[in-house]
A and B are shown apart, each in its own frame.
Chain A
Amino acid sequence: DGGITQSPKYLFRKEGQNVTLSCEQNLNHDAMYWYRQDPGQGLRLIYYSQIVNDFQKGDIAEGYSVSREKKESFPLTVTSAQKNPTAFYLCASSIILGQGAYEQYFGPGTRLTVT
């Protein structure tokens, strides 16, 4: 089945530790995105990537890092510099269209709790 997978579903970490969230897609999508969702908030963009080995900061990139070494994979590292890392993290992907509109497909999400 084609889709986006995120692992793990739940993750617990101690403050001060870096943690990496996995996102894999087999939809052959060029673009991938990371969003963060807090209670009562919409999704806020952390990082996005349109092609392999290239990525751009979103609205709330501070304290996060990403890599895009393969088209299928876009891992997100939450570093100890992120002040409030506890949140629900969603990964998404989409095809690249020249001038047209598109939709993003979302993974199931990872709920990160840092204590």
Chain B
Amino acid sequence: EDKVVQSPLSLVVHEGDTVTLNCSYEVTNFRSLLWYKQEKKAPTFLFMLTSSGIEKKSGRLSSILDKKELFSILNITATQTGDSAVYLCAVEVSIWNSGNTPLVFGKGTRLSVIA
């Protein structure tokens, strides 16, 4: 059974801190790993990772994938209260030779940034 595990489940930090969120996976036919941020309603897309060792950056957020050890991390530097959200990790598993397959989600990490 395909599985995505995120840790920690929740985290409380002070503004300005740097945080690292973890995502490990056990899936067959890995295609990509995605990170989403969910604040109140719908998740919003952050990063898609397909290759090992290539860091993706967007402002204070960055992420990297290790396909050998089957995990990814999401880093947030100089955290702000607006970073408070649930961060979801999802893996795309390829079942057919063409077409898309649904994502397998982890349970998320709830990040709370306090002033």
Contact = CB atoms under 8 A, between A and B. Distances in A.
B98 A31 contact: no
Contacts of B6: 42
A33 B31 contact: no
Contacts of A35: 105
Interface residues of A, number: 29
Contact of B100 (A45, A96, A108): A96
A41 interface: yes
B99 A50 contact: yes
B107 interface: yes
Contacts of A106: 42-44
Given A90-B42, A108-B41, A102 B100 contact: yes
Interface majority SS (helix, strand, loop, mixed), chain A: loop
A43 B6 CA distance: 13
Contact of B99 (A40, A96, A107): A96
Given A40-B107, A42-B4, A44-B105, A99 B43 contact: no
A101 B48 contact: yes
A35 B103 CA distance: 10
B34 A103 contact: yes
B20 to A, nearest CB: 19
A48 interface: yes
B107 A41 contact: yes
B98 A33 contact: no
Contact of B48 (A42, A44, A99, A103): A103
Contacts of A42: 4, 6, 88, 90, 105-108
Interface of A: 30-31, 33, 35, 40-45, 48, 50, 58, 90, 94-99, 101-109
Interface of B: 4, 6, 9, 31-32, 34, 41-45, 48, 50, 88, 90, 92, 97-100, 102-108
